[in-house]
Amino acid sequence: MKTRLGDDVIRAEQAQQMGRRITLTDTEIAGFFVEVRERSATFGVRLHAGGRVRVQKLGNFPEMSTEEARALCSARKAEIARTVPAAPPGADAGLVPGMTLERFYADHYLPWYKTYRRNSANVEQLYRSIYRPRFGRRLVGSISRDDLKLLTSEMLADDYAPGSINLTVVVLRSMLRRADDWGVCAVHPSIHKPPNRLPDTRQHERFLSRDEALRLQAELKRRGATPVTLAILFLMYTGARKNEALKAEWRHVNLERREWRIPLSKNGRPRTVILSHAAMGILDQARRYQTETFGEGAAHVSAIFANPHTQRPFHTIFQSWKRIRSAVGLDDLRLHDLRHSYASTLVNAGVSIYEIQKLLGHSNIATTQRYAHLASERLHETVKLVDAGYGRG
DSSP 3-state of 23: strand
343-379 exposure pattern, b = at least 16 Cβ within 10 A, e = fewer? bbbbbbeeeebeebbebbbbbeeeebeebeebbeeee
Give every CB contact of residue 64 below 8 A, 6+ residues apart in sequence.
43, 58, 72
The span from the CA of 113 to the CA of 134, in Å, is: 21
The span from the CA of 168 to the CA of 147, in Å, is: 12
What tens-digit pLDDT sequence spans the chain (393 residues)? 778 899 998 888 888 766 667 888 888 888 888 888 877 889 988 876 655 567 788 989 989 999 999 999 988 888 877 665 544 443 344 455 678 999 999 988 998 888 777 678 889 999 999 999 999 999 999 999 999 999 999 999 888 888 889 999 999 999 998 888 777 788 898 998 888 888 866 556 788 989 999 999 999 999 999 999 999 999 999 999 999 999 999 999 999 999 999 988 776 678 899 999 999 999 999 999 999 999 999 999 999 999 999 999 998 899 999 999 999 999 999 999 999 999 888 888 888 888 888 888 887 777 787 777 665 566 667 777 787 778 765
The span from the CA of 303 to the CA of 259, in Å, is: 16
CA 55 to the chain's CA centroid: 22
- Cβ of 273: how many Cβ atoms within 10 Å? 24
The span from the CA of 167 to the CA of 25, in Å, is: 24
For the structural domain made of 94-203, what CATH number should be given?
1.10.150.130
Q: What is the DSSP string of 205-262?
A: -----HHHHHHHHHHHHHH-S-HHHHHHHHHHHH---HHHHHT-BGGGEETTTTEEEE
Q: Is 350 left (phi over 0), alpha (psi -120 to 50) or beta?
A: left
**Domain 210-335 fold:** hpI Integrase; Chain A (1.10.443)
Among candidate residues 377, 386, 388, 387, the one with its CA nearest the CA of residue 350: 377
Inter-residue contact 280 to 237 (CB < 8 Å): no
Give every CB contact of residue 255 below 8 A, 6+ residues apart in sequence.
280, 283
DSSP 3-state of 350: coil
Give every CB contact of residue 112 below 8 A, 6+ residues apart in sequence.
46, 53, 55, 178
The span from the CA of 42 to the CA of 36, in Å, is: 7
- The DSSP secondary-structure symbol of 269 reads S
| pTM of the complete model | 0.59
Burial class (CB in 10 A: 0-12, 13-18, 19+), 324: buried
Domain spans of the chain?
1-87, 94-203, 210-335
Which residues does residue 34 pair with via DSSP β-bridges, in sequence order? 24, 43
Largest CA distance in the chain: 92
Q: How far is CA 185 from CA 41, 100, 105, 182, in A?
A: 26, 10, 12, 8
pLDDT at res. 86: 47
CATH architecture of 1-87: 2-Layer Sandwich (3.30)
CA 169 to the chain's CA centroid: 17
119-144 exposure pattern, b = at least 16 Cβ within 10 A, e = fewer? ebeebeebbeebbeeebeeebbbebe
Which residues does residue 274 pair with via DSSP β-bridges, in sequence order? 259
Give every CB contact of residue 188 below 8 A, 6+ residues apart in sequence.
141, 142, 143, 144, 145, 176
pLDDT at res. 274: 93
pLDDT at res. 37: 83
The span from the CA of 246 to the CA of 232, in Å, is: 9
The Cβ-side half-sphere exposure at 373, using a 13 Å CA radius, reads 4
